[in-house]
Chains A and B, each alone.
Chain A
Amino acid sequence: MQYTIRRLFSLIPVMLIVSIIVFLIVHLTPGNPAYLILGEDSSQESIEQLEIQLGLDKPLVIQFFSWLGNVLTGDLGQSVYSSEPVSQIIIDHLGPTFSLMVIALVLTLLIAIPTAIFVVWKRNTVLDPTFISISLLGVSIPEFWFAMLLVLCFGVAIPIFPVAGYIPFAEGALNWFYHLILPAFVLAAVEIGLVARMLRDGMLESVNQDYTRTAKAKGLKERIVLIKHVFFNALIPTTTVIGTTVAGLLGGTVIIETMFTIPGIGQLLIDSIYRRDYPVIQGVILFIAAVYVLVNLLVDLLYAVLDPRIRYD
């Protein structure tokens, strides 16, 4: 418990550094929302007027501290375009991204774990090199390319899945799942390869350990040895990978959501960057950073659950 609290406090400097970097990158990138809002034949006076209205005329340091002050009180500011509060905008876009990540993660675990166990079980057959090539392919295929291929195959040539779009869960779970299966699979492809490889390597390592031999010598069945002794011991490094997977999925949604027209956080981020909607960009990146850091913390805490030998206090 004490450890958890200590870790939570250590998040503060991390988030502070993230916020400074985000703010600087966003504001030092050339381009200005005032020009974008008013268009190409706008007058200099109207641009200056709008800059004052948006608070962009003040020095960067002052802008930063007033933004930071607001963030500390939970106010992420409001969109330059729609004047909606940024926190509300993020919440509105959370559903699709969260759905996509959950399905992708479930797919990842559902495919990666049984595959890895099966491959280790049949470790001395042609299955193993096959598995390595496929997982290597999964890891190396660029997401956007794989997405395009899948859409062409299963959306256009053999139209079993929709090529784009998103249906909220509330409007029908089946339809929701049906629209997300293709993008979620693309998103999962990389992670499946990664998790399965990690699990396989970990399991192969413990296959040769003394305790495995002992278990076999006891007369336990191969299947039971594999699952009870080999699999669970390989779970620690795999958990780390799954932790980064969650973060990786969040990053991957940026591309996948744009390609499948899913109105989530990723698409929001891309749109806001093109429009230089500073408060939204800052809010979204800060949010992603917070999720990343929290997931890492969660993984660390999970170690103790998975392996009773690990104690933090």
Chain B
Amino acid sequence: MNFKKYKKLSFTVIALILLVGLIGCGSESSGSNADTTDGQSSSEPTKGGTLNVAYGSEPDTIDWMYTGASATRDVGWHIFESLFALDNDYKIRPMIAESYEISDDRTVYTIKLREGVTFHDGSEVTAHDAVASIERWRQVSSVGTIADKYIENVTANDDYTIEIELSAVYEALLSDMSAPKSALMIIPSEIAEEAGEQPLKPEQLIGTGPYKFEKWERGEEINLIRFDDYAAREETDWGGLSGKKEAYVDEIKFQIVKDPQVMVNGLKTGIYDYAQSISPDLYDVIESTPNIDPATYINGYATITPDKSEAPFDDLKVRQALNHALDKETIAEATYGNEAFYTLDGALFSPEQKELYSEEGTDEFLAYNKEKAKHLLAESDYNGEPIQIMYSNDNDNYKKISQIAKQQMEEVGFTVELVSYEWATYLEKWADPKNWDLVVIGWSTRFSPNELGMLIQDTSSSGWYNSDHWNDLLDDWATAETNEQKQEVLGGMNRTVYDELPFIKIANEILFDIKSDKIKDYDSWVGPRFWNIWKDE
């Protein structure tokens, strides 16, 4: 038997057959599992079931007061509630508070709490808990530390009334108290005092929300279960974080899933019901998959921030040249692809944030003009020294923005180098102005002018921005009482940003989650919320 001759041939043929078999099997994936029911069987909400949420990043803590991180917030707001909360239009509504009064000189706030609100440990929420929570908030929360400068005294008048005394008029107090980042969540007074400036430990996670903390297996999952004694409000039309909340599913499991492909596959096969932050590249695939729906929500915006402590961007002319050099429409289109994932708007807040949005003063947002840029650059002291654009390569969007910005800047006469780091390294490099001239970074949705990280004076996050004008505007914000006054300050803020160009806004970003069509009555807001939804099984 002489097989020698065939050896090589059969070798190749077999390898090819195997390869084709494997690949062929891979491409037949779509459409083969379309035979699930349409899900229109019943429209009455039913209680029960477990909601499996595939969540991309594990929070460091679930202490929603301690940090403003999205991963903390998205879990935390199922467990905790604050005195005031934002509704669907980002308007301030009472939550644990029942009503409030402001004295004639606008420095004393008297807040009445709802009676009969209970913590997950069974005790009732009293004014003492609220006072202790506010005290901790003043120390640990990035929002609370700003409000702290105006707060003189917080006292409990009786079991259900607290009084906040201010040292000066501060109209932003209620807005700070309802901000869903580093939130003023109400926790039992013993826990607030015990934890102090440290983040809450798992056993201290006791709030008043519709779900209570059950367990946290690090690296795996965070379990919440329905809180049966939840004291719901009546209002069904407020939405957001306010109004009536009803927990239909028995249990929510936030499972830590790093791989986006696993999320999509898991949703297709029913392991997960919801998956967070999917790549926009998969949008078309999702749209055509029968039992999965996309859920989109606003998520702040992408920016380019110049280092204003050093040449060349300490010169306003060079910053103006940069703004005129960037064709933001092209950048956004090339970066986000589908128009479902970005909007071009120059304001500091999103148009959805009706109380904070003003379109005043944003004329210079789309100011693409190559000639003007060249002219301004020629007038400035810039002589072609290389400019370093730094970005984190963990995020595809910022990489694309950096690359296109480089090209557009070179067209008007800048010399540009790109430097990219992995997130942890990037954060460290950011702290030192020597490492970069421009950073490309996104900022998640903010809820108060005090929280705009890219404008906090003299820090690396703002590129060492120092402006008396901006500080004056923040003071004006503190005393703006009526809606018109607020709108005026907000317009002035927009104008200042375009006059001084501490950062350059590229485009509003829209994030994209996916959910199974078994989830009913889901309503998109600034992040995933799983009350008032139910599972149709």
Contact = CB atoms under 8 A, between A and B. Distances in A.
A156 B423 contact: no
21 contacts: A30-B428, A31-B424, A31-B425, A32-B424, A35-B428, A35-B430, A41-B459, A44-B431, A44-B459, A81-B60, A128-B3, A130-B14, A137-B19, A148-B26, A149-B23, A149-B25, A151-B261, A151-B265, A164-B257, A164-B265, A259-B259
A151 B142 CA distance: 44
A40 B430 contact: yes
A204 interface: no
A274 B10 contact: no
Contacts of A130: 10, 14
Contacts of B218: 82, 84, 89, 92
Given A165-B271, A261-B262, 19 more contacts: A31-B425, A36-B424, A47-B431, A124-B1, A124-B3, A129-B14, A130-B10, A133-B11, A133-B18, A137-B15, A149-B25, A155-B265, A157-B25, A157-B29, A164-B271, A165-B266, A258-B258, A261-B256, A270-B258
Contacts of B269: 155-156, 159, 162-163
A30 B421 contact: yes
Nearest to B6: A126
Contact of A163 (B58, B266, B456): B266
Contacts of B425: 29-31
Interface in B84-138: none
A76 to B, nearest CB: 16
B456 A40 contact: no
A162 B271 contact: yes
Contact of A32 (B11, B25, B266, B427): B427
B232 interface: no
B33 interface: yes
Contacts of B3: 124-126, 128-129
Interface string A223-246: 000000000000000000000000
Contacts of A30: 421, 424-425, 428-429
B38 interface: no
A159 B428 contact: no
A136 B14 CA distance: 11
A132 interface: yes
Contacts of A128: 3
B325 interface: no
Interface in B459-502: 459-461
Contacts of A134: 14, 18
Interface of A: 29-33, 35-37, 39-44, 47, 81-82, 84, 89, 92-93, 124-126, 128-130, 132-134, 136-137, 148-149, 151-153, 155-159, 162-165, 258-261, 263, 267-268, 270-271, 274-276
Given A134-B18, A159-B33, A164-B265, A31 B422 contact: yes
B18 to A, nearest CB: 6
B10 A35 contact: no
A42 B145 CA distance: 13
A161 to B, nearest CB: 9
B310 to A, nearest CB: 17
Interface string B419-442: 001111101111100000000010
Given A152-B29, A164-B265, A39 B67 contact: yes
B427 A41 contact: no
Contacts of A260: 262
B219 A164 contact: no
B262 A271 contact: no
Contacts of B421: 30
Nearest to B439: A40
> Which of A30, A32, A124 gathers the greatest number of chain B CB atoms within 10 Å?
A30
Contacts of A152: 25-26, 29, 265
Closest 7 CB pairs of A and B: A31-B424, A41-B453, A35-B427, A30-B425, A163-B265, A153-B25, A263-B220
Nearest to A32: B428
Nearest to A270: B258
Interface in B14-33: 14-15, 18-19, 22-23, 25-26, 28-29, 32-33
A268 B258 CA distance: 12
Contacts of A92: 218
B316 interface: no
Contacts of A275: 424
B339 interface: no
